[in-house]
Amino acid sequence: MESGQLSRAEALACTGCRHACHVMLFSDTKSQLFGQIPIRHIILMQMRFDGLLGFPGGFVNPSKESLEEGLSRELLEEIGVAVPILEENHVNSCYAPPSPSSSSSSSRLILHFYMKKMEEEQILDIERAAASTAVDHGHEVLGMVRVPLYQTKNGGGLSLFLSHSFIGNARLQLVDCLLRFGLIPAKHLHKALIQAETMHK
């Protein structure tokens, strides 16, 4: 197991830790951008209140709810649909990187990451619900965004998306899932990551 990673069981054994769960919801799609560029997959992320990109989800309280129940509750708040999440959707758990705002006295935060493949129509329903019925819309969440998996001729697309600012290790979670589940060819991802490095400089 990679360093800093915990199993779900090891993570839950830390009762003094705080826990947060986030999920990558996605579908396949046959649709094309401008009728010619394959979109391949619709991957949902969000623009958070603080201007950072992240995945839907949030703090859960394992003494009151299971990790997966807590994540579904957060999804209802943030995207307007209580998408059922199962243990089999768990990808990994790790300690949060120390943030400048967290004091040394505050308890450690463990981040749990999930992913769930859905039907395209369900993802479209979520996008509609997120903008119309989610209680956190316009507050904690400024809007859902899709991840562009293609590159455009002018250097836009995935590389430019990856050059934005992300909360915690959300950017790594995205890259890891794209690779792990073969959502784009590894060499395309590698190229996009290198290009992203040179942007906004």
Binding interface with ligand GTP (CB under 6 A): 20, 22, 54-55, 57-59, 74, 96, 111, 140, 167-170, 173
157 and 150 Cβ atoms separated by less than 8 Å? yes
Handedness of CA 46, 47, 49, 54 (dihedral sign): positive
Which CB atom, from 99 or from 198, has the smaller least distance to ligand GTP? 99
Q: How many CA atoms lie within 13 A of 86 on its CB side?
A: 3
Residue 196 interacting partner from Mn ion, ligand GTP, none (CB closer than 5 to 8 Å by kind): none
Under DSSP, the state recorded for 103 is -
Neighbours of 116 (CB within 10 A): 19
Residue 168 lies near Mn ion (rule: CB under 5 A): no
Give how many residues touch Mn ion by CB under 5 A. Answer: 3
List the one residue from 21, 58, 114, 116 that touches Mn ion (CB under 5 A): 58
Least separation in angstroms between residue 154's CB and ligand GTP is 28
Token output for 140: 């904690």
Under DSSP, the state recorded for 119 is -
Helix (H, G, I), strand (E, B) or coil at 194: helix
Residue 22 interacting partner from Mn ion, ligand GTP, none (CB closer than 5 to 8 Å by kind): ligand GTP
Amino acid at 27: S
Residue 82 interacting partner from ligand GTP, Mn ion, none (CB closer than 5 to 8 Å by kind): none
Which CB atom, from 97 or from 185, has the smaller least distance to ligand GTP? 97
Applying CB under 5 A, which residues contact Mn ion? 58-59, 74
